[in-house]
Amino acid sequence: MTDTDVVHLRAGGTSLVLDVSGDRLPVVVHWGADLGEVGPSALSSLARAARPQRVSGGLDEPTRASLLPVESDGWQYEPGLSGSRAGGVDFSPRFTVLDRRNDERGMHVVAQDAKAGLTVTIEVALGVSGLLRQRLSLRNDHDTEYLVAALQATFPLPATARELLDTTGRHLKERSPQRQPFTVGEHVRASRRGRPGADATLLLFAGETGFGFRSGTVHGVHAAWSGNHRLSAVRTSTADAFVVAGELLAPGEGLLRAGETYTTPWLVGTWGEGLDEAAARIHDDLRARPTHPSSPRPVTLNTWEAVYFDHDLERLSALAAAAAEIGVERFVLDDGWFRHRRDDTAGLGDWFVDEGVWPDGLTPLIERVTALGLEFGLWVEPEMVNLDSDLARAHPEWILHPGERWPVSGRQQQVLDLAHPDAFAYLLERLDALLTENDIAYLKWDHNRDLLEAAHAASGRPAVHDTTTALYALLDELRRRHPGVEIESCASGGARVDLGILERTERIWVSDCIDPLERLDNQAYTNLLVPAEMMGQHVGAERSHSTGRTAPLAFQAAVALFGHFGIETDLTRLDEDARADLARWVALHKRHRALFHTGRSVHADPVDPSVDVRGVVADDGREAVFVLTQRTASTTLPVGRVVLPGLFSSTEYDVRILPPADLAGPGQSRLAWAAGGMPVGGAPAGGVPGDGSADGMTLTGRMLGVVGVEMPVLLPASAVVVELVARS
């Protein structure tokens, strides 16, 4: 091995060291903490030290996972490429590197098996934040067809990775965390729903035993793809550990004719000392994009849980007026505005304004909304169709189905074949016309069912890959024609959350469930991938539409505070006091919005599971806001101390509980830190000032992060907001 046989890529506190010796594909020696400036000789020694030893019962030439591990190299575990020609021919290619180019942030490798007629290209890139991206392409150079069963990127893990974390869920309860030991074997998370799905894990994490948000080295991998995908964590009997990631191809989807190429989506890897740092790499990478939303995220009112299908100009105008009074900046008309749409059984696909409900079009409502100073937004679900629609009756061939039968329906709807040229052209024309003819600043783009038997009607071949790429093309073209329009990705709530869709949208709807207790975990684990400014977080009715549980306004608003803030209830039914309280919360969000949407998300790892502590800390450490939540009753009272992590150690902070979140509960007494504490719902116990503004203290960031502060005594299912400002 020579000094030129090792490549060291560095960016954003991350080092990626690759052994590129010989003519085989590069092997990852190290992916993780920055190793600093290292000379060629030391890197060469590091690569030699990492080579496996020959063992009894093993191969004479021990192998390691390359960027594309294959059986011909002696790899006996999850392969990077699975495929063959008719009859199983060329199932085990042996690639030889033809070209390799690299700079300090990336590598481009081309390798070929001339006999098998296959050429593979591998792109590796480190982003500004140290985020690792891989993408692979396979070209069929032969005159016979080659069927790709799987093409996947491999992310090697350190020996310390001994525990796995992923998420699961369902509609109304996405992103529920689950942990397990990372033992020898394979842990697979796959989606066959035609979208990531409510039960999908956004990332598959492997880390030190007991890793949390604030501690423990952890690596995570994500598939930036809005269709079917697969993530697999593997530990082998030879002490290798890695995650493989890629698109999950249906039978026949990877068929390559002569000269054709299949390219994977970007597969993304992050790491950190704790989940917060791993998430920050993703957030920083997204925020560095030139297309990332940079203007203040408008406070949004969505009409769904306020009026459902009951569309009436005067009622909606009154709702818009009430929204403007409390500081709302965007008014979104949800489902029910288009032809034949009086309930959810008909009309999907007929994207024309319903003349019976809106005889003068949407213009009268839009003019009233914009005259109030609000942006106007509109709900659409372009990928779906009701069989009871003019579109389905006229063009059944535009609907995904395998032949003479319809797939099992979901939400009384089927799925359009966006890859059908005529269906694509129709949707583009209709959406373009709506945006051209109306003053619409925002589309809430929904996707309300999983895909089943998703086949092109004409051929019967599987279509998830094609419809996903067609969706991207449709969004890209609409954005080109209407660059000022923002788009939200909603999919029965949070069933399509991935970096592929986030390349083309400004917001995701985290969940159809707005119950704040359910939203705590949902938002925390969605935030591992999505920065706060792209997460739709709303205040709903006092009684939750989805759970039936009641929650006071203050608790709902505190839980929603950090995200793309909004409201999902009928404001005209609230009394004057309730609207005034909500206006104060809107003002609080706006006052700190710049911090929430540019700062670092932090989550404490409380000892008491009844407590939740999370916050946002400015990049320069000069300010922070935390929300302290009492989820349930604790086994002790008071709860004790909680730490506020992520602050600058030596900086002194003035700390205080902010109104309107400084009330103890039914008694509405003020909460404060003071000798004697605060009885639940009772009167101040220690001569605490009643204005909620003089109850602060001054502590260093290290004190707050190591020693902590006494948790205010709260009723279960309530929260307080804490502001920290650095002393000049």
C-alpha closest to that of 107 among 95, 97, 118? 97
3-state DSSP assignment of residue 624: strand
Name the helix (H) or strand (E) containing 40. helix 40-49
- Please, what sign has the CA dihedral across residues 385, 391, 392, 398? negative
Cis peptide leading into 296, omega within 30 of 0?
A: no
Can you tell me the distance from the alpha carbon of 36 to that of 706, in angstroms, rounded to the nearest whole number? Answer: 29
| Closest by Cα among 573, 532, 579 to 553 | 579
Annotated catalytic residue: which of 19, 446, 581, 662? 446
CA distances from 534 to 296, 448, 499, 562, 617 (A): 11, 20, 12, 10, 17
446 is catalytic: yes
CA distance 405 to 385: 16
Report whether the peptide linkage leading into residue 638 is cis, meaning its omega lies within 30 degrees of zero: yes
Long-range pairs of 232-235 with CB within 8 A, sequence gap ≥ 24: 232/78, 232/186, 232/187, 232/188, 232/189, 232/204, 233/164, 233/182, 233/186, 233/187, 233/204, 233/206, 234/77, 234/78, 234/185, 234/186, 234/187, 235/182, 235/183, 235/184, 235/185
CB 547 within 8 A of CB 515: yes
Sheet holding 153-156, edge to edge: 153-156, 241-247, 229-235, 185-191
CA distance 567 to 479: 26
Q: How far apart are CA 11 and CA 396, in angstroms?
A: 51
* Given the residues 90, 276, 450, 512, the one annotated as active site: 512
Largest CA distance in the chain: 86
Decide if 521 is catalytic.
no
The partner residues of 170 in beta bridges, in order of sequence, read 173
Instruction: Indicate which residues carry an active-site annotation.
Output: 446, 512
